[in-house]
Amino acid sequence: MDFTQVYRGRSATLSPDGNLLLASSDGRIVVRNTKTFQIIHTWSLDIDSSAPAPVGAQHRHLPSGQDSNTNNSVQCAWSHDSRYVLAARGNMVLVFDATNEDWNASIQVGMEGLTRALWAPDGRTILCFSEWALRVTVWSLTTGRSTYIQFPKFAGRGYSFSPNGQYFILAERHKSRDTIGVYDVREEYKMLRHFGLPTSSLASFALSPVGDRLALWDGPLEYTLHMINLSGQVLGTFTPEPDPGQGIRCVAWHPSGRLVAVGGWDDKFHVLDVLTCRPIVSFDLRARLGGDVALWREPAGWLETTHGRGLISYDRISTPTSIKVRTSGGPNGSTTGGVLQMEWNTAGSLLLVRWDHCAEAVHVYEFPEAPREFRPRLRTVIEHRAAIRNARWEGAKGESIGMCAGGGAVYVWRDSNADWVGDEEIAECIGIPAKNFATLDAQWGPDGRSLVLQDRDTFACAFVVDE
């Protein structure tokens, strides 16, 4: 891999087309070209919306109250067409146009506060979630009008857009009862349906990738997953036997929408057939690995030996063998347990799983596709010296996993089915050639050949180089 120099900035994010990269730094949004990394736009976050716009500028001010929040943290996001940039700070949302330096818009939130601002799929509408889950305000940059949706269940989560972007689905709480609201995006978020839920205290929901049903689950004390359609009809319910006594921690839909993985707090996950809501396979966290499992282990002291430069392979450990699994308590004193993360690759043939009681390892489970026999299994374990902070599939082909552990390195595992890897899977430790750089987050670029590496106040980019 090749690396850029280290740049100052937080919340570094690539545009969806991969051509631009933004970061917030010292009260500004800085946008760079990803081919040269030269700065092409700089926007101040201290816009006075009451002042006259400069000559040639186009400024749209969308007021909804007075700004009373002095919070300086900034959340940034690209619109889906890579044209507009959203920056939310305190009770103000600023919008900039990457094709027109002089254009900007602002939304000033009132006493209800702001916990999250996000783009709708059309790239011309912004949704603002208020504090205390009071309401969601939908702002149109095209018309300047707003629409209010009252009583969301959560402040900043519990929502989804349908795959075609036509419907907005929101978890709500009305008269002490969990409900779902379905809104027509093309009709200015007009309500289409509103129905009650079979949950006692909804924890969250996940929309199927094909948009035909919702998986929703209860709070941390009840392990129950309900499957419903968008009319509110209950299609099935799953509760494991015996009851583990704790609830569901995370849910991940298979890309086909035919399977859903459900993980709890009990070091076990189930993969359900959505038509029957019955498990087709269940896995639990085990210290002992069978002889058919590939185990990759990070070499001891490699980062110091290489001085943070170069690339070395993980040690391939013979199996059967054992890995470190805590019976209680996480690496930072956590006593939670269960599944931290589940994520399918693009094809749905592999499932990435991170466990709280084995936080240093990433587990990869295989779900063979036709014409191979469908016999899911644990295929690979990638073990590290420190707890993994995040692990992500690259989205272009879903053949590689990028990982970071808060140190001066990034880790990459590549599937043996990748066109350019060969018959054997590959796992590599890659040092970042920068002093005192701690990788707290790693995000793949849209092409699957670049990574944005984020420290607390600085970032760098890494690129796959063809040999």
Has residue 311 been placed in a domain?
A: yes
> Which is higher by pLDDT, 335 or 141?
141
Residue 369 has pLDDT above 70, yes or no: yes
Q: Are residues 239 and 347 in the same domain?
A: no
Size (the chain), residues: 467
- Report the distance separating Cα 406 and Cα 385, nearest Å: 11
**Percentage above 90 pLDDT, the chain:** 82
**Percentage above 70 pLDDT, the chain:** 91
Has residue 201 been placed in a domain?
A: yes
Backbone angles phi, psi at 346, to 5 degrees: -60, -40
Q: Contacts from 35-38 at CB under 8 Å and sequence distance 24+?
A: 37/4, 37/7, 37/461
Q: How many CB atoms lie within 10 A of CB 398?
A: 22
Structure token pair of residue 261: 């993985």
What's residue 285's pLDDT?
97
Which stretches does DSSP call E strand in 7-165?
A: 7-8, 10-14, 20-25, 28-33, 39-44, 58-64, 74-78, 84-89, 92-97, 100-109, 116-119, 125-129, 135-140, 146-150, 159-161
Has residue 40 been placed in a domain?
A: no
Q: Are residues 199 and 252 in the same domain?
A: yes
What's residue 179's pLDDT?
98
Q: Are residues 223 and 295 in the same domain?
A: no
Q: Are residues 178 and 195 in the same domain?
A: yes
Q: Are residues 306 and 270 in the same domain?
A: no
Nearest to 1 by CA among 435, 429, 456, 459: 429
Q: Are residues 293 and 271 in the same domain?
A: no
Domain holding 361, by residue range, is: 286-433
- Residue 419 pLDDT grade (very low, low, confident, very high; cuts 50, 70, 90): low
Has residue 134 been placed in a domain?
A: no
- Report the distance separating Cα 70 and Cα 80, nearest Å: 29
Residue 133: strand, helix, or coil? helix
Q: Are residues 266 and 334 in the same domain?
A: no
- Residue 245 pLDDT grade (very low, low, confident, very high; cuts 50, 70, 90): confident
Instruction: Answer yes or no: are the C-beta atoms of 208 and 200 closer than 8 Å.
Output: no
Residue 225: strand, helix, or coil? strand
Backbone angles phi, psi at 137, to 5 degrees: -105, 125
Residue 146 has pLDDT above 70, yes or no: yes
- Report the distance separating Cα 261 and Cα 282, nearest Å: 9
Instruction: Answer yes or no: are the C-beta atoms of 241 and 266 closer than 8 Å.
Output: no
Kindly state the helix (H) or strand (E) to which residue 410 belongs, with its residue range.
strand 409-414
Q: How many CB atoms lie within 10 A of CB 285?
A: 21
How does the average pLDDT of the chain come out, rounded? 91
Rounded mean pLDDT, 101-114: 92
Q: Are residues 338 and 424 in the same domain?
A: yes
Alpha-carbon dihedral sign for residues 96, 101, 105, 111: positive
Has residue 458 been placed in a domain?
A: no
Has residue 56 been placed in a domain?
A: no
Rounded mean pLDDT, 289-310: 94
Instruction: Answer yes or no: are the C-beta atoms of 439 and 404 closer than 8 Å.
Output: yes
What's residue 72's pLDDT?
61
Show which of 284, 305, 339 is a domain's final residue. Answer: 284
Q: Are residues 328 and 233 in the same domain?
A: no
Q: Are residues 279 and 395 in the same domain?
A: no
Residue 203 has pLDDT above 50, yes or no: yes
The domain tally of the chain equals: 2
CATH number for 193: 2.130.10.10
Residue 455: strand, helix, or coil? coil
- Report the distance separating Cα 121 and Cα 207, nearest Å: 15
Has residue 69 been placed in a domain?
A: no
- Residue 422 pLDDT grade (very low, low, confident, very high; cuts 50, 70, 90): low
- Report the distance separating Cα 453 and Cα 443, nearest Å: 7
The reply to whether the predicted model has a pTM over 0.85 is: yes
What's residue 424's pLDDT?
83
N- to C-terminal Cα separation, the chain: 10
Residue 420 has pLDDT above 60, yes or no: no
Torsion of CA 289, 294, 298, 300, to 10 degrees: 70
What's residue 57's pLDDT?
36
* Peptide bond between residue 209 and the one before it cis (omega within 30 degrees of 0): no
Residue type, 17: D
For 16-30, 192-206, 331-345, which range has the lowest pLDDT when averaged over its residues?
Answer: 331-345
What's residue 366's pLDDT?
97
What's residue 240's pLDDT?
95
Q: Are residues 277 and 306 in the same domain?
A: no
Beta strand 358-366 pairing with 377-383: antiparallel
Has residue 5 been placed in a domain?
A: no
- Residue 63 pLDDT grade (very low, low, confident, very high; cuts 50, 70, 90): very low
Residue 268 has pLDDT above 90, yes or no: yes
Residue 431 has pLDDT above 60, yes or no: yes
Q: Are residues 254 and 357 in the same domain?
A: no
Residue 440 has pLDDT above 50, yes or no: yes
- Residue 15 pLDDT grade (very low, low, confident, very high; cuts 50, 70, 90): very high
Show which of 251, 284, 317 is a domain's final residue. Answer: 284
Beta bridge partners of 339: 355
- Residue 110 pLDDT grade (very low, low, confident, very high; cuts 50, 70, 90): confident
Show which of 284, 311, 336 is a domain's final residue. Answer: 284
